[in-house]
Structure 1
Amino acid sequence: MIEETDLGKAASEILMKNKYYLISNGVRGEVECPDFAYTDKKWILFILNQLILNSVKYKSENPKVHPYIHIYTERYGHGVRLIVEDNGTGIREEEMSRIFEKGFTGSNGRNGKKSTGMGLYLCRRLCEKLGIAIEAESVRGEGTKMILTFPVSSYLSKM
């Protein structure tokens, strides 16, 4: 059901849902999302949940790094970007082109993290259905940004 969705409330809801998981892993969450987007809230919550779980699963193992997840929005032209940024292990440059493939786990997922390679694949499929672009930026050892781009009325223009 496509409706105006408060991205800040959605992000806060997912952090609250995962608060015990975040606390037990020593991960701090922060939300700065004053923007709205036309989308299906239920599926955005699913996508955000997957991105949060990945951020915690692949947090930095360096004891000097204090793990965080920062969820924020940026306006661009006639749309909004929702960004989930962490300071975790990051993704190897040579694996970036494959992270949304069905069953791809990458070196991080094969190192005892119990990965199925389905999470980001499902996120990509849902984003395609909702008319949202999803992309990743990452630096190995520094962290990852997952970016959801909501063009204004992209779904409505297809009706």
Structure 2
Amino acid sequence: MDLLHELTLAMIKYYQGDPKRIQHFIKVHSFAQLIGIGEKLDEKTLFTLETAALTHDIGIKLAESKFNSTNGKFQEQEGPAPAKEMLTELGFEQDVIDRVCYLIAHHHTYTNIDGIDYQILVEADFLVNLYEDNLPKKSVETALQRIFKTETGISLCKTMFDI
């Protein structure tokens, strides 16, 4: 099995009994992959992006147990440690683990985005959250203006929400 397949199965097990969270990371991964391919990412960057998309919310369980909150800042704080452990156990390369942990620790921070993988992860998460949270069209338009930078992400957002 390839690493992304193994990681997907490990994340499903991690969220056992929580189909909403499983559905969320599967959707974020699909949009991240779609945008990454559309933006013609190189193989290593796409792999790192997909890994981050699958694990981006891994800190939510610890945030809930420690702080009784799903706040994004707590997710960023608590996510890198379990991600590092899981990715190490599965045999991911250290440079990929380091970048993924960085992305997890920043995926709710929308300033100083320092790479195309980071930008696409944020866009993919927004596409899913805008839908899952059933936000009004005005909120979608604001997110489109403030968050989306890639041609593929902009196009997907406009098409999905008929803007």
TM-score category (smaller protein) = 0.3 to 0.5
Question: Larger strand proportion, structure 1 or 2?
Answer: 1
Please state which structure has a larger fraction of its residues in helix: 2
